[in-house]
Amino acid sequence: MHKTVQSGKELNYSSTFHFPVQIYYEDTDFSGVVYHPNFLKYFERAREHVIGAKTLARLWDEQGLGFAVYRSDMLCHDGVEFADIIDIRTRFYFESKYRTVWHQEIWRPNAKKPAVTANIEMVCMNKARQLTPMSADLLAHLSQSFAESHQSVSSL
C-alpha cells in the first residue's frame, strides 16, 4: 500500500490496477506520437475498468448516480508512440463521501519512469447534476481495494 502526504494529511491509496492499451495510428498526430487529449481517454477507460461498466450502468439506472471529473492535473514527461502497448497504472483514495482522487500513470514498455502522470478528482453526482454522497453499495464495492488499508470508509 502506497502512502503519501498531501497538505499535512496521510493518504491511503488502493492497490495498483493495470490496464493495457494498444496505441493505434489514429491516436497519434502526424509524427506518430499520441495526441495529448487521448491520454485523458485512456485514463477514463482505466477508471471504468477498476469500477466496472456493469456497476456504473447499474448505479445510473437504479440509483441515478454517476461520476464527473472535478479537477484534472496531467503532466506529459515522455512521448508515447504508434504501436506501443502501454500500461495504465491506477490507484485511488477516498477524499470524502462525495469525492475520490485517482492517481494514474502511463508506462511504456521497459520504461524506467512513467511517460504521463495525472491526478484526477471525481465527484459523485445525481441525475440532476447535484453533488451527492456515494451510496453504501458503491462504497463497499470500491472499498474492496482497501482491504489492507487503515482508512475506514464508513467514517467518511
Query: What is the per-residue pLDDT for 138?
Result: 85
Angle at 56 between CA 84 and CA 88, to 5 degrees: 20
The structural domains of the chain, with segments of one domain joined by +, span 15-142
Query: What is the per-residue pLDDT for 144?
Result: 73
Query: What is the per-residue pLDDT for 11?
Result: 63
The continuous run of DSSP H or E covering 34 comes out as none
Point out the least confidently predicted range of 35-49, 101-115, 135-149.
Answer: 135-149
**Predicted structure pTM score:** 0.85
pLDDT tens column, 20-50: 999 999 999 999 999 999 999 999 999 999 9
Residues contacting 61, CB < 8 A, separation 6+: none
Letter string b/e over residues 35-52, b meaning 16 or more CB atoms within 10 A of that residue's CB: eeebbbebbbebbeebbe
| Fold of domain 15-142 | Thiol Ester Dehydrase; Chain A (3.10.129)
State the average pLDDT over residues 117-134. Answer: 97
